[in-house]
């Protein structure tokens, strides 16, 4: 019998790429069912919520009794105690047979955290970054702003993502701080984020400086990036335009620091709808299929 996977919010940016990603599953027979907002969801093995925080909150209590496992793409449950926040290359073991709900991380956090995981042996202490986030990262409505000449997002850089909080940080920045700590299980790592929306259709980019606990050996770090599954290092510049539709997280402009040999600097770019969302979810599904279904 085939494994039934339901995609809820199937017409959104993530829902649509999710349908293509799940079609790539090879080792088990799966039946992928796509649902939009007025549909009744039948029982299934895995339900994937490709909805915003408020809809995930409303839908999860209904879906949890219909599905063996639920994957939520929204931020709603990412910080909840006991809910694994998973990037399979890093912490697939956080999913156990008793897990019901698995959260998939924020797109920007995903690329950043994978690069920090590569640097594990150098014991990252602190990370400064500025993000250049694509319009599709804000969903279908945000993407429509790209061609709207009256929109602030048209041919521009907007130095905030989502709501600004009382402390001046925007919600996106706080997600990056808290999710980095949780995924890496490094409660003391210091994260100093600056997030911006840029007029790019798809492909998030991040300029990063990491303070390490050891002297940075750039040749070794380059090899570490190259040998990590899901990452590619490039000696030449790579821009988001070139990586749309690609699975890997790309690193370029690797440099030491002008002042201190315990810092390393680099540029990250990756497809926010793939490793930042649906590819990560497909990999979570593959963990569930291999271990529990
Ligand atoms: N975009 C990214 O790069 C990215 C990356 C990582 C995580 N995420 C997260 O993934 C989630 C989806 O993002 P998105 O970019 O795909 O947003 P989106 O393009 O705005 O799509 C949201 C989808 O949710 C659907 N929806 C809303 N209420 C629903 C309900 N009650 N039942 C079923 N479907 C419902 C919408 O349906 P209609 O079609 O009827 O409007 C729409 O298709 C968000 O939580 C987002 O934060 C996004």
Q: For 179-233, how does the pLDDT look when each residue is reduced to its tens digit (9 = 90+)?
A: 999 999 999 999 999 999 999 999 999 999 999 999 999 999 999 999 999 999 9
Mutate to test the pocket of ligand 1, among 11, 50, 202, 244 (most ligand atoms within 8 A of CB): 50
Is residue 70 pLDDT above 90, yes or no?
A: yes
Q: Which atom of ligand 1 is nearest to the CA of 110?
A: 6
Q: What domains can you pick out in the chain, each with its CATH number?
A: 3-105+277-291 (3.40.50.720), 108-272 (3.30.360.10)
What average pLDDT does the chain have? Answer: 97
pLDDT digit string (tens) for 94-130?
999 999 999 999 999 999 999 999 999 999 999 999 9
For residue 121, the Cα-to-chain-centroid distance in whole angstroms is 23
pLDDT at 27: 86
Ligand 1 midpoint to CA 269 (Å): 22
Please state the pTM of the whole predicted model.
0.97
Return the percentage of the chain with pLDDT > 90, whole number: 98
pLDDT tens-digit profile of 146-155? 999 999 999 9
DSSP state of 4: E
Residue 58: pLDDT band (50, 70, 90) is very high
Mutate to test the pocket of ligand 1, among 8, 14, 197 (most ligand atoms within 8 A of CB): 14
pLDDT in the model for residue 38:
84
Query: Is there an atom of ligand 1 within 6 Å of 19 CB?
Result: no
Query: Burial code of 174-207, b = ≥16 C-beta within 10 A, e = fewer?
Result: bbbbbbbbbbbebeebebebbbbbbbbebbbbbe
Of ligand 1's atoms, which has the minimum distance to the CA of residue 141?
Answer: 20
Nearest-CA neighbor of 270 among 222, 205, 173?
A: 205
Query: Distance, CA 138 to ligand 1 centroid (Å)?
Result: 9
């Amino acid at each position: 019998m085939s494994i039934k996977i339901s995609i809820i919010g199937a017409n959104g940016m993530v829902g649509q790429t999710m349908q293509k990603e799940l079609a790539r599953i090879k080792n088990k027979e799966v039946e992928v069912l796509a649902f939009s907002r007025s549909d009744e969801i039948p029982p299934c093995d895995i339900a994937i919520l490709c909805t915003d925080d408020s809809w995930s909150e409303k839908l999860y209590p209904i879906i949890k009794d219909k599905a063996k496992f639920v994957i939520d793409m929204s931020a709603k449950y990412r910080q909840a105690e006991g809910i694994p926040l998973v990037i399979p290359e890093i912490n697939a073991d956080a999913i156990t047979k008793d897990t019901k709900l698995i959260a998939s991380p924020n797109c920007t956090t995903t690329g950043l955290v994978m690069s920090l995981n590569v640097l594990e042996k150098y014991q990252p202490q602190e990370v400064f970054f500025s993000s250049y986030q694509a319009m599709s990262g804000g969903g279908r409505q945000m993407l429509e702003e790209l061609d709207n000449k009256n929109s602030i997002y048209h041919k521009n850089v907007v130095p905030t993502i989502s709501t600004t909080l009382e402390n001046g940080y925007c919600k996106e920045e706080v997600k990056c701080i808290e999710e980095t700590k949780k995924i890496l299980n490094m409660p003391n790592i210091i994260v100093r984020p600056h997030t911006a929306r840029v007029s790019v259709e798809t492909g998030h980019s991040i300029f990063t400086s990491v303070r390490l606990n050891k002297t940075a050996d750039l040749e070794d770090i380059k090899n570490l990036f190259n040998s990590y599954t899901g990452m590619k290092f490039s000696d030449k510049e790579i821009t988001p335009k070139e990586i749309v539709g690609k699975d890997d997280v790309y690193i370029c402009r690797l440099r030491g620091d002008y002042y201190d040999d315990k810092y390393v600097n680099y540029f990250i770019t990756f497809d926010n709808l793939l490793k930042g969302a649906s590819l990560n979810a497909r990999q979570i599904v593959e963990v569930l299929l291999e271990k529990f279904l």
